[in-house]
Amino acid sequence: MKVAVLAVDGVFDSGISAVLDVLHTAHALRRRVTGAAPPAFDIRTVGVRRRVRTGLGHRIDTEPVTAARDADLLVVPALMERRPELLVEAVASDAYRPVRRILTEARERRTPLATACTGTFLLAESGVLDGLRATTSWWLAPLFRDRYRAVTVEETRMVVSSGGITTAGAAFGHLDLALSVVGGRSPALADLVRRYLIVDDRASQAAYAIPSALAHHDPLVAAFEQWARARLAEPAPIAEAARELGVSERTLQRAVARTLGRTPVGLVQDLRVEQAEHLLRTTDLPLAAVARRVGYESPGPLRTLLRRRRDG
């Protein structure tokens, strides 16, 4: 399997390292798989220039991007930029025009693509994700959803494959991305690599998401989040929240859906689960007592929500 890893100026250091480490480890361990050995991995680091600088200033020497033309997979690690407004400015800039062209040409050749974290913005900006499902860093999902409305965002998922493109979640989702590539060739080899590198099997980003960080993308959603957080132990009628916030219930529902891709009730559940997890970590309260503190008369519904959050 020929894999081209595209290194660009400002690439996220640990992202590209994680991809290369997993793929090279898979190549080294493939003969240890019981039965017939999976095919070898031919891994090339390519770039639009022969030498690029990572986000932390390290140098990477690359092969010409033409080496990616016959690749079985093109992987695009994330950019280092963490500031949302500057990330959008960067991926749309002339500086990354050659990268966007590489992506569209690869898509035209039907070359499978893979990326993680902020790299999803590069793919979306190039248009190759239009009409597909994708994930990204959970904390960037509201911005992604607002800017790229032709893409269906599934930010709770760690890895999403859709139409020949695989996307993964926040920064260390690069590990999950690379393991999914290996698993596509040999699940047994992916499991072996996971064990050697001590990487947990993580299907979801939901357990890491901070609802307040997501809500702050929109002032109305942020106000609703604060209103609901102050009433976690009580019933929280959405109609009452809308009245107190000075908007219609429909307007509130639309704002939450546009920003978070879920309903106001879903956000309230997220807040209750977040608080319940905090109490379970920091107190000796039994689950039944925790459930009452976050608005549930019995522990059953809370237990279901905790399990759903863990499993994605």
258-287, pLDDT tens digit by residue?
888 889 999 999 999 999 999 999 999 999
Q: Hey, CA dihedral for 96, 17, 188, 309, is it positive or negative?
A: negative
User: Which of the four pLDDT bands, split at 50, 70 and 90, describes residue 215?
Assistant: confident
pLDDT score recorded for residue 213: 83
For residue 312, pLDDT beyond 70: no
CA 283 to chain centre: 31
User: Which of the four pLDDT bands, split at 50, 70 and 90, describes residue 211?
Assistant: confident
pLDDT score recorded for residue 26: 97
Spatial neighbors of 85 by CB under 8 A, at least 6 apart, are none
Angle at 29 between CA 24 and CA 30, to 5 degrees: 100
pLDDT score recorded for residue 36: 85
For residue 108, pLDDT beyond 90: yes
Residue 247 to residues 220, 239, 271, Cα–Cα distance (Å)? 9, 10, 21
For residue 27, pLDDT beyond 70: yes
Between CA 219 and CA 210 the distance in angstroms is: 16
pTM over 0.75: yes
Between CA 73 and CA 51 the distance in angstroms is: 21
pLDDT score recorded for residue 216: 86
Kindly state the percentage of the chain with pLDDT values over 90.
84
The mean pLDDT value of the chain amounts to: 93
- The pair of three-digit structure tokens given for residue 196, joined into one six-digit string: 């050697």
